[in-house]
Amino acid sequence: MRSKSLKYPTLVIGILLVGFQTVASQIQVNPTGVNVNSQNPSVVFLTFGQIPAGYAPAEAMWCGQLVPAAPPAIGLQCRPDTIYGVLPTRYNLSQTSGNLGLTDIMSIPSAVVRRAFQTADTGGDAGFFYVRRFTSSLGGPDQFVSVTCRMAGGGARTPFALTDVRYLAETDEPIVFVRRGQPLPVKGVQIRYNGTGRLRGRWELVLPGEELPTNRDLLTEATLPIEDRSGQRRFTQVERFYHF
């Protein structure tokens, strides 16, 4: 009787430990839900973690409904017949950050928002989901991590983010020659954004003969992890700005 009374508790403890390890290895995301602009593109900063050893981000997509991933995969994946779009390669700005973390810039195209509106117009839910798949090079199961996107206006309840910046010149010529000492033929800059907040930065000028900035240099600091922001190249500063 004593041997049996010791055997069952040992078995239960073993099961609990295995279950704890499985739950602890699941990838999480912050935030889990966001408000997005119902009329224009939206940009949202996401943080995934902790990323288990051997895992890397794969494709990402938007869809109207989620279903449980087929075992042994973990999480909820997009229902195939409700997929609105796949994250274009040029918009994939995910990169490792901090302690086993990963940052991702979710750029939602207008086409995805239109699909969500069409679904709502036929009686469906206007909300939709962003799902990122992670794959393992060590034989682990695929993991699906989802973010809920709620349709809203572009006001204070929507994350503050720039969606487009355009330089407005006095001429339509792609290349403008300016003599030394003459002012630049600038009308202004058109900035499109969502949300509300403080816009702080600086205007910089790439001088003749300097190497052109890379796509990474053109990103806003908030797009990059804190530890990578100092790696952006700096050019000749024209002036600083601070707007609310």
Residue 144's pLDDT is 98
Residue 72's pLDDT is 94
- Please name the residue that has the structure tokens 């609310």: 244
User: How many angstroms separate the CA atoms of 126 and 112, rounded?
Assistant: 11
Instruction: Tell me the average pLDDT across 214-232.
Output: 81
Residue 154's pLDDT is 63
Closest CA to 27 of 138, 130, 106, 143: 143
**Can you list the domains of the chain with their CATH numbers?**
29-152 (2.60.40), 161-243 (no CATH)
User: How many angstroms separate the CA atoms of 75 and 66, rounded?
Assistant: 10
- Provide the whole-model pTM: 0.73
Per-residue burial over 168-197, b = 16 or more CB atoms within 10 Å of its CB, e = otherwise: eeeeeeeeeeeeeeeeeeeeeeeeebbbee
- pLDDT, one tens digit per residue, over 186-219 is 778 888 888 788 888 888 888 888 999 988 888 8
- pLDDT, one tens digit per residue, over 47-77 is 998 899 999 999 999 999 999 999 999 999 9
Q: How many CB atoms lie within 10 A of CB 1?
A: 5
229 is written with which tokens?
């922001």
Per-residue burial over 198-215, b = 16 or more CB atoms within 10 Å of its CB, e = otherwise: eeeeeeeeeeeeeeeeee
- pLDDT, one tens digit per residue, over 113-130 is 889 888 888 888 889 999
